Each structure stands twice: as C-alpha cells, then as structure tokens.
Chains A and B, each alone.
Chain A
Amino acid sequence: MRISGPLPRAWAICAKDAAQEARQRIALASVLFFAATALTLVSFAIGPAGFAREERATLHAAVLWILLFFSTATGLPRAFVREEETGTALALRKTAPGITVLAGKTLFNYFLFAAIAAVTVPGLAILVGWEISSPGALAVVLAASGYGLTVVSTFLSALVARAGGKNVLFVLVCFPLLVPLLLAAIAATLAAAGGELAGAPLRVILAYDGAATCAAYLLASAAWEE
C-alpha cells in the first residue's frame, strides 16, 4: 500500500484542527475578541491625532506587533494544550511522528495568524488612521514575520503542553525568544508603511525564520514524543 509523505500527513492534521475549530470556534473567537478589544482600547488611547505624524508611524508599527504577539499568545498555545487536556495526544503520538504533528499544527496556526492579521491591520488603519504607503511590502513583512512567530509559538506550545499547559508559562518563555523577531518586524513594518521594503530588517526576519525552522525540525521529536 502506498504511504503518503510528511506533507499530506501534516495537511491532514491541519485540516483536523480546522474542522475542530469550525465546530468549537474557541481559538478563533478568543483571539479575535482579544484583538478587537485591544484594538478598540488602543484607538481610544492614541486616536488618529494624538501624536505628531513622525511619532505616530513608529507607534502604529509597534502597536501592530504588540497586538499580533498577544493575540497569537492567546490562541496559538491551544494547538497542543487541547490535545493533552482531552487525552487525544496519545492517539496522535501513536499515529504520527513529532515533526509531522508539529508541521500540521504550525500550518493551522499560520492560518490563525493570517486571520488575526486580516482583522488587526485594517482595524488599526481605520481606527487610528494608520497610513500604509505600500500594502504589498507590508504583506511580505507580515507573511515572513508571521511565519517565524508561528513556528516558535507552536514549538513552545508543544513543550508547555507537556509541562501542564500553563499559558502564563508560554508567554514567559515565548517573549524573550521572539524579541529579536518582533524588533525586526517593527522596523520592517515601519519601512513598509513608509512605502519601502527594508532590506536589513527583512534579512533578519528571514534568517530568524530559517533558524526557527531548523531548530523546530531538529527538536520536534524531543518536544512531542517521550
């Protein structure tokens, strides 16, 4: 019998998570609620005319990534925690190796990140008057930075789930690891809003993505299997 490769198996895990989410709507509802609440508070706090134009640009880029980081921190850890809490982790562990499970969960979380960004970016633009000169460049920055954020968050969620599934622990471990990525993402976002695709921060983001992928690939079995 023909055995399919790792990608179709990872896709099956992603599709399963998506089907579960479609029926429960827990992760999506919680992250979108968090994003919408934070966005509203930020818009009231800084408003469209609260700061000088130059200051606003930097502030908007930083606020975007703060919103994206905490929104993902709310929803992404569920990928593995739910499997451990419901006891389905054993069946999954028996069925697929760590790297396949991690790839499937990362893929689902990447879609979740895209959904968060799809709400947060236009929301920020409308509510605080964020001007984006190059939406294409911003999309590239979001795609590249979102990938690194998703890989690291998903990998850490596998570790945290085995340690009792504490979300606080997830944020504490996640934040220092993601600081370099977030700083580069803010710089690249600032440049994209100004109309250019900044080379230096984007190279940092891509290098981070590569390093995160290698680390997750090498450590997947240790994180997921006994």
Chain B
Amino acid sequence: MSVFRLEARELSKSYSGPALFSDLSFTAGAGLTAVAGKNGSGKTTLLKILARLLAPERGRVAIFDADRELSGEERRRAVGWAGPDLAFYDDFTARENLRFFRLASGLPSMDERLGKRLERVGLGDVADRRVGAFSTGMKQRLRLAFALLLNPPVLLLDEPAGGLDEEGRATLAGIVAERRAIGPVLLASNDPRDFASPEQTITLSR
C-alpha cells in the first residue's frame, strides 16, 4: 500500500502575459491523475514545476511519505519525470546515458538493472547503440526508462505516447498500470486515449 502523495498548493505561473494557471491546488495519491487541456494551456509547465525543473511564481509543491515531507536529494530521487524536451547525449549509447544519470544521482550504476529497465521499455536489443542513431519513438522509450531509472514512487509523464507505435503504447499502458498501484502517476496529454480511467483529472484552461 503506497503512502506517497504529491501536494500542490496555490500554484501560479505566467510567461509575460496572462497566467497559465493561478492558485492551482490538488493532492495526488496512488493512482492516475490525468492532466488535460488544449495546447498552450500549461500542462508541460505544470509538470516541470512539480518536477522542480521550473519555479512557480507563487505556491509550493510537497512530496510526502506518509506524514513526512521529503526534502533535498530524497525529494529529487522520489520524482521521476519524462517530457518531450528531455534530451540525451547523442554520442553515448542508451546504456551509457542511463549509467551516467544513475552515477550523477549518487547511485551505483548497476548495469544489470539498467539492462532490465531498457528491456522494460523495449530497448533491450539496442541498449548499446548510440542515441544519436535512435528514431523519435526509440528516444521516447528512452525517456520512459529515464523516468523509471531511480524507481521513483512519484511519476510525472508529459505526452509520454508521442512518437510511440502500437507496441510502445502497450508498453506505456503497462508501465502506467503497474506504477499507479505503487504511487501517484501524473500524466499530461492531449489524447484522451492515454488516460485509462484516471482517479482524478486536472483540466487546465487558460
């Protein structure tokens, strides 16, 4: 039984114009939270704020393990994120990329586990191929592997099905089904097919 939850309190953000969202508050426990809204409504921005890749103008985001709020490195490792503008080192192979990010996170590289992560997203056969030679769909699968790299209890997926084929979509659906039983999964998409019976939906409308 998962005890992790993500709490957003009165978040506001704008880019030199009207606010994308203001005073947005919600709590996401174990299960799928769909983040919906038309293009430019702020879905990507919201997920980046939740991942601490962007700072909100107002408000705060907290991750709780039961009643204990996570901070610092523990918080950083508790949140997995993948988004369309997540890029990798083209000169490195998929395995080398993931190995580096594990080491930079302060965790042992554990090549065996990396191999399993890559197999899980369907990249087992091309694990030692340079990322520069990957197709759009393969890069998208690598983004999923990156999000799962540290086995985080909280998963933030921004347009995770972009560029994926049917097999890739099935893999993604399997990962979401697996992870939503463990902790909060927040998934932003324009395609309602990506949301399989979400526990809650946050609709952003500017």
A-side residues, CB < 8 A to B, are 1-5, 8-9, 12-13, 16, 19-20, 23-24, 86-88, 90-97, 100, 104, 225-226
Question: B54 to chain A: which residues have CB within 8 Å?
Answer: 226
B-side residues, CB < 8 A to A, are 51-55, 73, 76, 81, 83, 85-92, 96, 100-101, 103-108, 146
Contact B105 A90 (CB under 8 A): no
CA distance A5 to B92 in the complex (A): 25
The 10 tightest CB contacts between A and B, nearest first, are A87-B87, A12-B103, A3-B106, A226-B55, A23-B91, A96-B104, A95-B104, A4-B106, A16-B100, A95-B101
Tally of A-B residue pairs with Cβ under 8 A? 73
Q: Which residue of A lies closest to B151 (CB)?
A: A1
Asked, given contacts A3-B73, A97-B76, whether A9 binds B106 with beta carbons under 8 Å apart, the answer is yes
Contact B86 A90 (CB under 8 A): yes
Contact A16 B53 (CB under 8 A): no
Question: B108 to chain A: which residues have CB within 8 Å?
Answer: 1-2, 4
CA distance A95 to B96 in the complex (A): 15
CA distance A225 to B55 in the complex (A): 9
Contact B92 A19 (CB under 8 A): yes
Contact B86 A91 (CB under 8 A): yes
Could you name 15 residue pairs across A and B whose Cβ atoms are closer than 8 Å?
A9-B104, A9-B105, A20-B89, A87-B86, A88-B88, A90-B53, A90-B83, A90-B87, A91-B88, A91-B146, A94-B53, A96-B106, A226-B52, A226-B53, A226-B54
Contact A8 B106 (CB under 8 A): yes
Q: From residue A100, how far is it (CB to closest CB) to chain B in Å?
A: 7
Asked, given contacts A91-B146, A94-B81, whether A12 binds B89 with beta carbons under 8 Å apart, the answer is no
Residue in A8, A87, A91 whose CB lies within 8 Å of B103 = A8
CA distance A16 to B105 in the complex (A): 13
Contact A88 B53 (CB under 8 A): no
Q: Which residue of B lies closest to A13 (CB)?
A: B104
Q: From residue B55, how far is it (CB to closest CB) to chain A in Å?
A: 5
Question: B90 to chain A: which residues have CB within 8 Å?
Answer: 86
